[in-house]
Amino acid sequence: MLKTIFIVILLALFNINMNLTNASETANENKDTLIEKTEYLVVADLVFDEIYDIDISEGEYKTSVEIMLSWEADTSKFLKKFGDEIIHGKKLDDFLDTTWHPEFFISNAENPRTTHVKTLDVLQGKFELFERFEVVVSIGAEMPTFPFGNLDLFLDIASFSGSTKKMLFQPASLEIGHHDADEHSHEVIKGPWILAEKYLERQGRSSLNHGGKEKFSYLVSHIKVKHSFITTAQKIFTPLLILIFLSLFINRYLLIFEDESGGNNGNWRVGGQITLVLALFALRFSLSGSIPTTHYLTFIDALFVTATIIIVGSLCWGIYVIYLMQNGFIEKAKSFDKSSNLILLLLTVILFGWCGSFIAY
């Protein structure tokens, strides 16, 4: 019986492996077929010079990018007129009006890109079209584990001067800053972010162009960044933990039953918790630009919910104890006052466990 089960498992694993191999081979065949059928294979190299104003609450960032597009074509007309000159400005515009060249737009840009420099030359029998541009890019700031996890600063470069039959992007290289730039004097990714991963891929997407029946080539860059842990600890974790600790500290050492009138201790306890509530709201407001706006709770949202429940719970508990004392329920007030420390501590542990479940998302 065991032998039969073992053979069945081996056959199943073999079948899965064969299917995966066939799928990979089919994908490669399709890719090669596309390259063979296209008229111009446009090799693309990207360099990100600046990535700044990353706003995950609005789901956008700003970037300055250099792109080099090279393709094989008849270069004799160019060489006869310009030789080894690198043309730009009016010369460039006039020449491009007379010949086919790859044109693109940024499909996830919030407005048209601003071109700083654009040049064209011929090198080793290929045209090389260089452009540096600046653009505001819209992204989906999906970070359920924020401030942990990665944020994908993707850039969609969409061709429109021909379908995949006319031109096809060929991803070559993606760099964050020039390799010979001084890392200390020129930081590419601005703000409390660290590069986690980067890659470049080609996609084919349908378009309303050409009647909507043909696919156009897309070049998609993925730059995944993550929050610096030190910045996160300073700006988020430390303030929140201090507020929670102060709330538990006030509840522990300002026992109302020691002052049966509900006087000084009660006033300090309620007043202290109210101050912490206001401080919590102020902290949330100050971080509003750094927290993603989502339709679901993130890890940081869970931390703020935890702090709110603990502080507001301590405030309401203290008010209720004072109410009992002022209405003559002294023993009941003492019992509630003593038990508050254990209950709030257990509640804190449970809520922190709930927060931890978001990290394992």
Which of 227, 244, 263 is at the close of a domain? 227
How close are the terminal C-alpha atoms of the chain, in Å? 40
Place of tokens 């006869």: 80
Question: Residue 173 pLDDT more than 90?
Answer: yes
Same domain membership, residue 320 and residue 299:
yes
Token pair recorded at residue 52: 């700044």
Q: Give tens-digit pLDDT for 221-277.
A: 999 998 777 776 677 788 888 898 888 888 776 655 554 444 566 677 788 888 888
Same domain membership, residue 235 and residue 168:
no
Find the CATH number of the domain harbouring 104: 2.70.170.10
Token pair recorded at residue 340: 């508050």
CA 241, CA 250: separation in Å to the nearest integer?
A: 14
**Pairing mode, if any, of strands 167-176 and 193-206?**
unpaired
3-state secondary structure of 223: strand
Instruction: Provide Rg for the chain, Cα atoms.
Output: 31
Distances (CA, A) of 208 to 44, 107, 164: 24, 13, 14
3-state secondary structure of 32: helix
Same domain membership, residue 197 and residue 125:
yes
- Does some domain include residue 19? no
Which of 210, 227, 244 is at the close of a domain? 227
Give the residue with greater pLDDT, 27 vs 98.
Answer: 98
- Does some domain include residue 13? no
Same domain membership, residue 176 and residue 274:
no
CA 254, CA 272: separation in Å to the nearest integer?
A: 10
Overall number of domains in the chain: 2
Same domain membership, residue 241 and residue 184:
no
Same domain membership, residue 248 and residue 186:
no
Find the CATH number of the domain harbouring 307: 1.20.58.390
Domain membership of residue 257 as a residue range: 231-359
Taking the model in full, what pTM does it have? 0.69
Which of 227, 259, 286 is at the close of a domain? 227
- Does some domain include residue 314? yes
